[in-house]
Amino acid sequence: MLPDVFIQEGPIQARDETTMTANTTTEQIRIFDTTLRDGEQSPGASMTLEEKLQIAEILDEMGVDIIEAGFPIASNGDFEAVSEIAKRSKNSVIAGLARAIHADIDRCGEAVKHAGKGRIHTFVSTSPIHLKFQMNKTEDQVLDIITDTVTRSRNLIDDVEWSAMDATRTPIDYLCRCVEAAIKCGATTINLPDTVGYATPDEYKAMFEQIRERVPDSDKAIFSVHCHDDLGLAVANSLAGVAGGARQIECTINGLGERAGNAALEEIVMAVRTRSDIMPYVTRIDPKFLVRASKMVSGASGFAVQYNKAIVGKNAFAHESGIHQDGMLKNAETYEIMRPEDVGVKATSLVMGKHSGRHAFRDKLKELGFDLGDNALQDAFRRFKDLADRKKHVYDEDIEALVEDEITILGESTKVIALTVIAGTGGPQKAILTMDVNGQHITKECTGDGPVDATFNAIKSIVPHEATLSLYQVHAVTEGTDAQAEVSVRLEAGGRIATGKGADTDTLVASARAYVSAMNKLALRQQTGNPGALQAV
């Protein structure tokens, strides 16, 4: 049995115990997070000391087993970051990276000595292409380097990790000799990385199986995977390596890292947790920290998380399709294999858009506090679909404004049917307006001092009245250039005041609706005193 592998008795808890396949024993997988080292090597992803300390704190709190805090020889700033993280760590092993050079190893040992549990992680290339073109060394010379540097590291600290850079393009016989030398000199963890993201899962699994079978005393070390995502296989390869006997996974938050990045920590953790039926492993990670850690790393690195990113992306627990929304409302497991709250997401989001169905729309209205009858619901749903065709994102505020506007115009005798506005620097501005007045469609064309004035003049031309405009106010309901505008208009006449609201992605249309709404309300209030106050011509 591998050293320090924890055995947990009893079944792993799946989301739904009725569909769970119980495993009687589960082995712990160590999570080695290299966000602060490999992740920071992404071009443009450099982080400040304070940002690194904050990220290290949340990694330590969420249960990461080993935090690779940096590359101490790279700069004084990196040395300071590794040293400070080592001093502050409460639970995690703190590792520093070192090339197979004495100065690197000594500097790394100096940085991690402050940790309650420190590690030196040293590496050297082993593939023919690296030996020939990068190192200009023979195989025997590299074996001597491994013996020398692992021994030097072990003399400084008990916990030493050795990595064979470009292991997946290294002949298996030579790789066995390198691993054997590292273990013989005291390496406690052996990392066989897919440095350039070249391997496939079957190949990667087979490599670990062969190394562990052929290398003497291989059971004295923990084997580790470190996969890059050049072919999009980093997570799949990492899990395949575990199936081949590795018990440490090196990964980063959001998959941040060189070129196409590393295996994403959040995907590894949730894959193991969700598919415990075929992967009898556990990690120490508390998944409720995943989204929070993702946002922190994204903010510090300046690398936005793509909307469709697994686990932590904005759309990971969002559903717009009417079929999907209908299933989600009946049983969340129809389209979700994880609970959003398990990874730190407040709740599933039923995104309201042009693909949403009536069931989801009705449920959203109830959530917003609207209980509409069948006819009103049908009218509101039609307007919602029209709105969704015009703008990319329909927010709760959009729906509230839309329904409130619908409720306002229901039963009104005067309505806006069509509006065309001609505006610009040349002037004069012109509005061509068609209104429904007591069932009669009337069209008028008017000019004005600006498009809003022209629109209001057209309304007055169709429905003459003496009311004065005492308030005109516009605000965007949501963000963006396609935001829905909500307009408020207040009219006064004969000591009476009426306020109307209108909403539309076109501010002028919203303005016309608001004005007509206020006009209708004012007419109703004036009927007792002057029934003919507002008449169409």
Look up residue 119 and give its DSSP letter: E
| Residue 68 contacts residue 99 (beta carbons within 8 Å) | no
Q: Which residues of 91-109 are buried (b: 16+ CB within 10 A; e: fewer)?
A: ebbbbbbbbbeeebbbbbb
Instruction: Identify whether 428 is preceded by a cis peptide bond (ω within 30 of 0).
Output: yes
Burial classification of residue 468, based on how many CB atoms lie within 10 Å of its CB (0-12 exposed, 13-18 middle, 19 or more buried): exposed
**Bridging pattern class, strands 414-422 and 429-437:** antiparallel
Residue 49: CB partners within 8 Å, gap ≥ 6? 77, 80, 81, 84
Please report, in range form, the residues annotated as the binding site.
Answer: 38, 226, 228, 262
CA-based angle 121:226:246, to the nearest 5?
95
Which residue type occupies 210? Answer: Q
Please report, in range form, the residues annotated as the binding site for Mn(2+).
Answer: 38, 226, 228, 262
Longest Cα–Cα distance of the chain, Å, equals 107
Over its C-alpha atoms, the chain yields an Rg (Å, rounded) of 33
Q: 510 vs 267, 407, 474, CA distance in Å?
A: 45, 15, 9
| Residue 252 contacts residue 189 (beta carbons within 8 Å) | no
What DSSP string runs through 27-68? Answer: EEPEEEE-TTTTGGGSTT----HHHHHHHHHHHHHHT-SEEE
Q: How many CA atoms lie within 13 A of 411 on its CB side?
A: 5
